[in-house]
Chains A and B, each alone.
Chain A
Amino acid sequence: EVQLVESGGGLVQPGGSLRLSCAASGFTFSSYAMSWVRQAPGKGLEWVSAISGSGGSTYYADSVKGRFTISRDNSKNTLYLQMNSLRAEDTAVYYCAKDLGDIVVVAGDYWGQGTLVTVSS
């Protein structure tokens, strides 16, 4: 059974940093691209970042480019999102999602339960 479990969310002050993790199980992690998608309270889905199965290709939304870094450790079956210079508008539930294959198309066939990030003083 495919499982994705996010962790690392919480309350952080503006300008602060946070690292999210997504522990994957039930599939060959290194064979699939992965994405982070967020949802601000009461708002729609927003794609944040994606990474290929090997980790060799990474992609970012303009809203987070230069502040967020996506990475993965295929030996630990874990996806990460390092978030720096956080702003109030980054407040959201952050989901990790498994893609359909190694190439990034952001067709998430499995999603985690999400972790809430709140940026506030």
Chain B
Amino acid sequence: SYVLTQPPSVSVAPGKTARITCGGNNIGSKSVHWYQQKPGQAPVLVIYYDSDRPSGIPERFSGSNSGNTATLTISRVEAGDEADYYCQVWDSSSDQGVFGGGTKLTVL
């Protein structure tokens, strides 16, 4: 089955740029979606189809996807961005959804 690999944690100072990676075999050929989840809350879609932002998501959130790595970039990080972030794809070869293990973003 398809596997997505994320770093367990990323730390960043306020105002700086955070980059969260999601690795997978030829992930560039798939559409990647990213979710933000804060403690006790349901996930929120922040990026879909690699780089599109849902309405209401700040422009500070952006995404890219190429080769074996997809990246969620959060610019001008704020304390409120502290959360768990998950990447996700639909694996058409197995007809199954796949989530990465999640990355805890800590704002220093």
Q: Please list the residues of chain A having a beta carbon within 8 angstroms of any beta carbon in chain B.
A: 35, 37, 44-47, 50, 59-62, 95, 97, 100, 104-109, 111-114
Contact = CB atoms under 8 A, between A and B. Distances in A.
Nearest to B102: A44
A112 B45 contact: no
A50 B97 contact: yes
Given A100-B48, A107-B48, A109-B48, A47 B96 contact: yes
B97 A62 contact: no
**Binding site of A, secondary structure by majority: helix, strand, loop or mixed?**
loop
A44 B95 contact: no
B69 interface: no
Interface residues of B, number: 24
Interface string B85-105: 010101000011111111000
10 residue pairs, one from A and one from B, having the closest CB atoms: A47-B97, A106-B97, A111-B42, A44-B102, A107-B33, A107-B48, A45-B99, A105-B90, A109-B45, A59-B95
Interface in B1-25: 1
A106 B91 CA distance: 10
